[in-house]
Amino acid sequence: MAARIGLPVAAKEESQDICFVRGGDYRRFLLAHAPEIARPGPIVDSAGRELGRHTGLPFYTIGQRHGIGVSAPAPLYVRHIDVARNALIVGPAAELGRSELRVVETRFVSGRAPRAPVAATVKVRYTGREVEAILEPQADGAAQVHLRAPVRDVTPGQAAVFYQGDRVLGGGTIAGAPDLD
């Protein structure tokens, strides 16, 4: 559509990053505009053992492998960002998958949530694959999502979208996973 009406951005590559930050370095941007967020804290494994110190939670993302700042016999990934404890929880790749998640602020194209659990597929990342699931609507407007296969990098605050075939059922905001809440 952009090409058809002659917009110069028509040939521009799609951006999924923070495009408004000059140079693409969001860490430098955050430090310049909100230095108080750089509160160091513990980096811990799933068993609670402290492995090192992080430089500030906003500088990390779920699933991140590089730049964590601790070494281990096997690669470590960010599993969870625990804001209440100011802790970064890390673990091996095998610990990244989630089979269940809670989605809040759900909205359905039909205007109302299903009255009973429904089979669907779910995407939790723009470029992610759809995974078969059972959506279980909750009385509070949320949905409990039971995934048939574990999905990596389930990130609170990101969107989850529900499908049936090529039809969008609805979606909402990922609130968490049972072992991380």
67 domain-assigned = yes
130 domain-assigned = yes
Instruction: Indicate whether 132 pLDDT > 90.
Output: yes
Q: Write out the residue range of the structural domain in which residue 84 sits.
A: 22-95
Report, as an integer, the average pLDDT of 96-105.
Answer: 92
Neighbouring C-beta atoms of residue 22, cutoff 10 Å: 7
pLDDT of 177: 59
Instruction: Indicate whether 181 pLDDT > 50.
Output: no
What is the domain-level CATH number for residue 154? Answer: 2.40.30.10
pLDDT of 30: 85
pLDDT of 118: 96
Q: What is d(CA 104, CA 92) in angstroms, rounded to the nearest whole number? A: 28
3 domain-assigned = no
Residues 21-64 pLDDT 10s = 777 778 888 888 888 988 999 999 989 999 999 999 999 988 89
109 domain-assigned = yes
Pair (114, 155) in one structural domain: yes
Instruction: Indicate whether 133 pLDDT > 90.
Output: yes
pLDDT class of 157 with cuts at 50, 70, 90 = confident
> Per mean pLDDT, which range of 20-29, 44-53, 67-76, 143-152 is the poorest?
20-29
Instruction: Indicate whether 178 pLDDT > 50.
Output: yes
Instruction: Indicate whether 158 pLDDT > 70.
Output: yes
Q: What is d(CA 69, CA 15) in angstroms, rounded to the nearest whole number? A: 27
Pair (169, 105) in one structural domain: yes
- The single residue listed with the structure tokens 């990596």 is 152
Q: What is d(CA 28, CA 22) in angstroms, rounded to the nearest whole number? A: 10
Point out the domain boundary residue: 70, 95, 120: 95
